[in-house]
Amino acid sequence: MTKTEAVKNRIFAGSDMDYVGICPSSVLEGEPKGHRPSDLLPNAKSIIVFGRRLINGSVQTKFRFMEDGVGNIVGSYSAHSFVLSINHLCMKQTYDIAQYLENTFGCFAMPVTNNVLQAVQPEGNYAPFFADPYKAGLPIDFYKAAVAAGIGEMGWNHRVITPDNGPRVYICAIITSMEFEEYDKPYAGPKLCDPVKCGVCSEVCPTHALDPKKGTKVTICGKEYDLGKLDVNGCSVACFGFRRQLNPRTGVVVDKDSPTDEELAEALSRNFEKPGFQTLDHIPMFHCERCLIYCPVGNWKEKFADHGLSDREVK
Ligand code: SF4
Ligand code: SF4
């Protein structure tokens, strides 16, 4: 058995992960200073990316709120698909996998913070990590690493889209000094995201933060992906729940779809003053997620619409 096979087997079988891929750490060496693997682990050679699919029953609680107005269940999404259990589970598994790598192969294994929960001091205003990983304080862009490691492709919605679960996955990473005999290649199956034919993510975006037509390109391992032009602050307004239709309990409302950094920072500072506001996530960011929950890739129709769990028409 090769090292690559041994590590993947351990992660699949021992840590119950649904996805595992390995890419050379050099794929992220072109990132800004402080966010390159070698800045974080000077002898970095590889990035091991792994993750779990989100629970469909938890994802559908978002439809209950957004389509039926049943708001008392959104905690299921927040706890099990966004922060608490999924994050703790992945932290624990990441810890175990890092211990296994160091004990078995005598390498260095640096677990990467896998969500804003463990993020260090943000460098700008807070932002949802898919929208602007470095503004959210993440050390590396593990979505790019996931794409390089073959887990999925980048979607118009700036998320990693997998063939079987669309963007409804939770991804973690370990940077290691270990070298592997072979590395995964980017996903090469049928194109998953076609924004011209689909466009659902832009259509459902409550603050019009994700442009339906204008986009940017990102190149990962020589492969080009189209990303929608994303207004990070507009997205943040929705994700932080600064609108009553997204968060009926909000004490802070931001009417503008596209606030300036200063306006967003001011709203955030008012939110921080509210008693009981502090959460493990520093700041709750689960209030939107529409471009994730409604993305049709990953058998969305068969999983949700065909069971009467969403009224949304499938194109
Ligand atoms: S909703 Fe459609 S356009 Fe948006 S990321 Fe998913 S597949 Fe791509
Ligand atoms: S999370 Fe919501 S606000 Fe942000 S881009 Fe997706 S749909 Fe738009």
What pLDDT digit, counting tens, does each position of 212-233 carry? 999 999 999 999 999 999 999 9
Does ligand 2 come within 6 angstroms of the Cβ of 209?
yes
Q: Dihedral of CA 130/162/19/34: which sign?
A: negative
CB of 237 shorter than 6 A to ligand 2: no
What integer best gives the mean pLDDT of the chain? 91
**Full DSSP string of 102-159:** HHHH---EEEPP-SGGG--S-SSS---TTT-TTTTT-SS-HHHHHHHTTS-EE-TTSS
Cα of 189 from ligand 1 centre, angstroms: 16
Q: Which of 38-52, 79-93, 144-158, 276-290 has the lowest mean pLDDT?
A: 276-290
Q: What token pair was written down for 65?
A: 């709120």
Nearest atom in ligand 1 to the alpha carbon of residue 157 is 5
- Using a 6 Å cutoff on CB, does residue 112 contact ligand 2? no
Confidence class for position 135, pLDDT limits 50, 70, 90: confident
Rounded to an integer, what distance in angstroms lies between the CA atom of residue 171 and that of residue 49?
A: 7
Residue 124's pLDDT is what?
A: 60
CB 198 near ligand 2, within 6 Å: no
Kindly report, residue by residue over 234-267, the tens digit of the pLDDT.
999 999 999 998 888 888 899 999 999 999 988 8
pLDDT at residue 121 is higher than 60: no
Ligand 2 pocket, residue 200 CB under 6 Å: no
Res 276 pLDDT > 60: no
pLDDT attached to residue 120: 47
Residue 175 has pLDDT above 90, yes or no: yes
| Pocket lining for ligand 1, CB < 6 angstroms | 155-157, 161, 193, 195, 198-201, 295-297
Task: Give, using CA atoms, the residue closest to atom 6 of ligand 2.
Answer: 291
Cα–Cα–Cα angle for 10, 153, 12, rounded to 5 degrees = 10
118 phi, psi to nearest 5 deg: -105, 10
